[in-house]
Amino acid sequence: MRFEVPQFIEVEDKIFGPLTWRQFLYVGGGVGMAVVMFFTLPFIFFLILGLPLGLLSAALAFYPVNNRPFSFFLEAIINYTKGQRLYLWKQSADVVYKRNPATQTDSYRASPYSTPMSANLNRSKPKQNISSLARKLELQALQKSE
C-alpha cells in the first residue's frame, strides 16, 4: 500500500482566490473596520484613522519581514517595548585624591555621582594589605618548593 507524502508543508493553502486564510482575515478585518469608520466618523477623521489602519492591515496580510509574516515582527516590537531591560554596567564616579604640598594633607574631592562607600576610604590600609598579601604569597611559594 502506497501513501502520498505531503510536499510544500510550509506554504499555506490559497482558499479565497489568491489569498490565504490569514491574508483574507487581515484584509477583510481592515476593510470592515474602514467601512464602519467611514459611516460613523467625519471624513477627516476617517482619513486620519483609516489610512494607518489600511496600511497596517495591508502590511499584516502581504508584507513579510525576513521571510516571516509581519505579525511576528509586530509581536517582537511589542514584546521589546513592554519588556524589562537588564543593564549590566552602571558608571560610577571616580574618586580623586590630591596632595597639597604646602600643608602635607590630602584633600578629597568626589564627583556628585560618587557613592557613600567611596567617601569612607581609609588610605593607610592598602599598604598594609599589599604587604600582607606579599608575605602570604612568599609563604605559599616556599611551601610549594619544599
pLDDT digits (tens, 9 = 90+) for 56-74: 999 999 999 998 999 999 9
What are the tens digits of pLDDT across the range 80-120? Answer: 999 888 877 777 766 666 666 666 555 555 555 555 555 55
Interatomic CA distance for residues 123 and 56, integer angstroms: 64
Q: Would you kindly state where each structural domain of the chain is located, as residue ranges?
A: 14-82
| pTM passes above 0.75 | no
Element (H, E) at 102: none
Question: In whole numbers, what is the pLDDT of the chain averaged over residues?
Answer: 81
CB 94 within 8 A of CB 118: no
Q: How confident is the model at residue 129 (pLDDT cuts 50, 70, 90)?
A: confident
